[in-house]
Each structure stands twice: as C-alpha cells, then as structure tokens.
C-alpha cells in the first residue's frame, strides 16, 4: 500500500461559522441486534446467508452492536465535537414486513437514539433508506416493482410521525446508484441480481420513492430535506473518440441518471422511454425542490471503450464484457487499503462541474460521505486524506460552489457490505471480538481541527 505524501502543515482554512460538520454511519453496518426487538430480515441478511457472497463469510448480525452500545457512541460524537450525526433507520426494524404492522420496539430504539443525540448537542440527521430493503418486499419484486415506492412513502410517514418533532434535517435515500448498479445490474451487492440494463426500473422506482417521501416530509412540516447521491468525475482513458464516448456513457450511468431527474426534471436522452410507468408525471414528483443536495464522493473513475486487454476486475467488482465500456486503473496517485486512488482535486473538479452543469438548479451542497479505509490506530494516511479533501472542498467554495456541510465516513469501523469486516473506514477502531471502541489518531486530529474552527 502506498502511503500519502506529507500533508500541508498548519490549520485548515476557515469555514463559515454555520458550516455543518458531521460523521455518517448506516443501520445495517453497525446496529447488530438482528432480530432482538422484532426487526424483520432484510435483503442484506438474505444475501449474506448465501455462500460466497461476502468475502470473509461474515454477516452483520452483531456488527458494532450499536443497538446496545449507542450511549457509548453518542459520547464519542460529543467528544469529537461534530454538530451532526448522519445515521440510517432500518426499514425492517420499523416495519418488519416492509408494510403493515409497526414494530413499536424498533421505533423506540430510534426514539432513544434521537433523544440521546439531542441531549449531547448533536443534530440527528436520519437517512430513511440505506440499501437494506425489507426481505418481504424484496421477495415480492423489491425495487423492480413500482409498489415498493409507495410502501416506502408509508414507512417515511411512520418514522416522521415519531421522530419529526426533534429531527430538522432528513435524507430520503442513500446512493440509489449503487443499489441499482451493484445490487441489480452486476449482482455484486444485495439482492444479487444480474440484470444489466434491465435494472433501470430500480433507479426510477427509487427516485419515485424519494419524491413521494419528500411529499410526506413536507406535509409533516420539515424544512430541510435532501438526498445522498454518490458521484465522481469520469476521466476518459485517452482522447480517442471511442474512449470519450465510453466515458460519457459511464458518466451518464453514475452521475446524470440520478442527478438530472432530481435537478432538471428530466432523464438523460434515451433513458425515459426505457422506464416503466407514467414517467413524465413521476418526474414532477421526483424533481420537487430540495433544500440541499448530498454528494458522497470517494474517487474518480477512468473509463475507455471495451477492451479485452483491460482487467475485468475493478475495485473487487467484475465488469461484464458485454458492457459498452472498460474501467481502467487510475494510476499516479496514492491508494487506500481498499486500493482506491486518493485524489482530493477530483472533489473540487466534481463540485465545480456540478455547478457548471446545473447552475441555479443546484441547491446548496452537503458532502454526505467522504472517507477511506486504512488499518491501524495511528492512521496518519487517513489524516492526510481528510486534510486534502477538506482543502479541496474549501477551494470549491472559493470557486462559487455553495457548500454547507461535510460528513466523514465513518464514525466506526463497521461491516463493509460484500467486503465483510475486511475494510476499516472508522475514525474509531472497533475490536469485532470484544466490541471495544478505541479512537484512532484521525479522531483526535478531527476533534482538534473542529475546535480550531470555533
């Protein structure tokens, strides 16, 4: 693993006084207590039970045991000094069948968590859906079915009714691109379908669910609603016409397919006719104004025309040869333990490019995830990663991008989906045998950096 070069010395540049600093987690990755309070199974429970799906053969039935240890984790948030905590609500913990009877014990957990956060002076920022589809809905077709979007709206109503008096900021969905592309097109994530372009309805139904949930939250009086979309710059492998066309297509799949409907009220050319339902009517729901737009950024991608000489494995994902592009290694940069390139200037490129593409249709931006996997407690590489990306973020603000907040992924080492427990993204080390929490060097660095911003 290549280490990062020495980072800039001295304090971070000054961010606005009202800038929102936070950290993020997700329910399935940290909560554990898989069925202790009546939570129903999710798509990820079923996926992890299939042999060979998870690289280390593990599951998230215990994970970080946040369900029982949340007071300890809230205390860590208070010590860190962040203003907000982005967590997700497990749909199947609230509605074990995905619809119908409410699990009061599940809602009680989130009620306790929100109360603890408020008492600690940390703003709760719930994400309503972070990939863990209730298994009962998945078996009925899941996100391939339009009905799932309507069941999601009902779920949003249940959660908002219970937590809305203390929650001022909501996120509807996390990374619909990954659920579509990794979960349904390539089969690398739950539910493990390999539909390639027949997965497009999954994208549309998630965006429709977002629009329906926005209506619910607005009716409940929420004045701050966003979404957390994954985005990254797409770089052509060369200046050839074939490579540029392939990169444009990949950019459409990762970025424009999920941003254009929300921000412009349209799908990229040629997409709408491939989607089911009254698409134009749906787009009016999908494109309701957002109070802010969440961006999850990790890395850029280099893309070229189909090329059998390019390895099919990309970041542990196999790229099928029938796709109209190849994904190339981004060389010339340090790499994380996950073998992802570390390119802080690409965050600047992404945000400035969004501002240029969407203009005044782009609401204020919040970076809802940014982080890296490294081993060890003295994680100087993570410190340099965060330092570099925060400086790039500040540069984007200097270039006119209205950025209102930044959330580190993640507070805790966790169960990293198909990687199992192999990758550590946390500011806090978790011993997965004893569940002991130990703040890393990056935790102390961020704590001190936030104090210096006051």
Alpha-carbon distance of 10 to 254, in angstroms, equals: 36
Q: Is 378 exposed, middle or buried (0-12, 13-18, 19+ CB in 10 A)?
A: exposed
Instruction: Please name every residue paired with 326 in a beta bridge, in sequence order, or none if there are none.
Output: 304
Instruction: Provide the sign of the torsion angle of the four alpha carbons 237, 243, 246, 247, taken in this order.
Output: positive
> 175 an active-site residue?
yes
CA distance 122 to 24: 12
Of 31, 175, 178, 416, catalytic: 175
Q: How far is CA 448 from CA 75, 91, 381, 387, 451, in A?
A: 16, 36, 17, 12, 5
Q: Give strand pairing partners of 302.
A: 235, 328
Which residues make Cβ contacts (< 8 Å) with residue 214, sequence separation at least 6? 172, 225, 285, 288, 290
Catalytic (active site) residue 369: yes
Contact present, 118 and 166 (Cβ < 8 Å): yes
Gyration radius (Cα) of the chain, Å: 21
Instruction: Supply 407's token pair.
Output: 């959330």
- Distance of alpha carbon 20 from alpha carbon 29, whole angstroms: 24
> 20-24 and 403-409: which strand pairing?
parallel
Distance of CA 319 to the CA centre of its chain: 21
Q: Which of 130, 157, 140, 261 minimizes the C-alpha distance to 204? A: 261
Could you tell me the two tokens for 209?
């669910």
Give every CB contact of residue 294 below 8 A, 6+ residues apart in sequence: 171, 226, 227, 228, 229, 365, 366, 367, 368
Which residue of the set 31, 138, 157, 369 is catalytic? 369
Known catalytic residues are 175, 369
């Amino acid at each position: 693993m290549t280490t990062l070069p020495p980072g800039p010395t001295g304090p971070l540049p000054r961010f606005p006084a009202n800038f929102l600093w936070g950290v993020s987690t997700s329910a399935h990755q940290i909560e554990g207590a898989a069925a202790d309070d009546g939570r129903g199974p999710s798509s990820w429970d079923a996926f992890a039970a299939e042999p060979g799906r998870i690289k280390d053969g593990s599951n998230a039935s215990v994970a970080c045991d946040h369900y029982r240890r949340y007071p300890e984790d809230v205390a860590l948030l208070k010590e860190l000094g962040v203003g907000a905590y982005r967590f997700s609500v497990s749909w199947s913990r609230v509605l074990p069948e995905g619809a119908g009877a409410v699990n009061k014990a599940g809602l009680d957990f989130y009620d306790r968590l929100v109360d603890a956060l408020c008492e600690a002076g940390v703003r709760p920022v719930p994400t309503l859906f972070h990939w863990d589809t209730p298994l009962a809905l998945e078996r009925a077709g899941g996100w391939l079915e339009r009905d799932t979007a309507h069941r999601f709206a009902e779920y949003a109503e249940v959660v908002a009714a219970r937590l809305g008096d203390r929650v001022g900021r909501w996120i509807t969905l996390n990374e619909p691109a990954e659920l579509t592309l990794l979960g349904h097109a390539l089969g690398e994530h739950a539910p493990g379908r390999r539909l390639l372009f027949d997965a497009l309805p999954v994208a549309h139904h998630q965006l429709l669910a977002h629009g329906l949930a926005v209506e619910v939250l607005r009716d409940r009086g929420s004045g701050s609603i966003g979404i957390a979309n994954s985005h990254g710059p797409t770089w052509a492998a060369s200046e050839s016409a074939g490579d540029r066309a392939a990169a444009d297509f990949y950019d459409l799949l990762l970025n424009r397919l999920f941003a254009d409907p929300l921000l412009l009220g349209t799908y990229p050319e040629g997409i709408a006719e491939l989607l089911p339902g009254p698409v134009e009517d749906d787009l009016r729901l999908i494109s309701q104004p957002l109070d802010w737009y969440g961006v999850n950024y990790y890395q850029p991608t280099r893309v070229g025309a189909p090329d059998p000489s390019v390895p099919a494995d990309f970041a542990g994902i196999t790229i099928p040869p029938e796709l109209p592009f190849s994904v190339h290694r981004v060389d010339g940069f340090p790499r994380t333990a996950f073998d992802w390139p570390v390119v802080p200037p690409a965050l600047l490129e992404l945000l400035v490019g969004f501002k240029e593409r969407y203009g005044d249709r782009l609401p204020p931006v919040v970076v809802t995830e940014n982080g890296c996997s490294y081993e060890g407690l003295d994680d100087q590489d993570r410190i340099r990663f965060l330092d570099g990306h925060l400086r790039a973020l500040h540069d984007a603000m200097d270039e006119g991008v209205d950025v209102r907040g930044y959330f580190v992924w993640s507070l805790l080492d966790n169960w990293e989906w198909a990687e199992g427990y192999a990758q550590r993204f946390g500011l806090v080390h978790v011993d997965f045998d004893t569940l002991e929490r130990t703040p890393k060097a990056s935790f102390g660095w961020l704590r001190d950096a936030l104090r210096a911003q006051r």
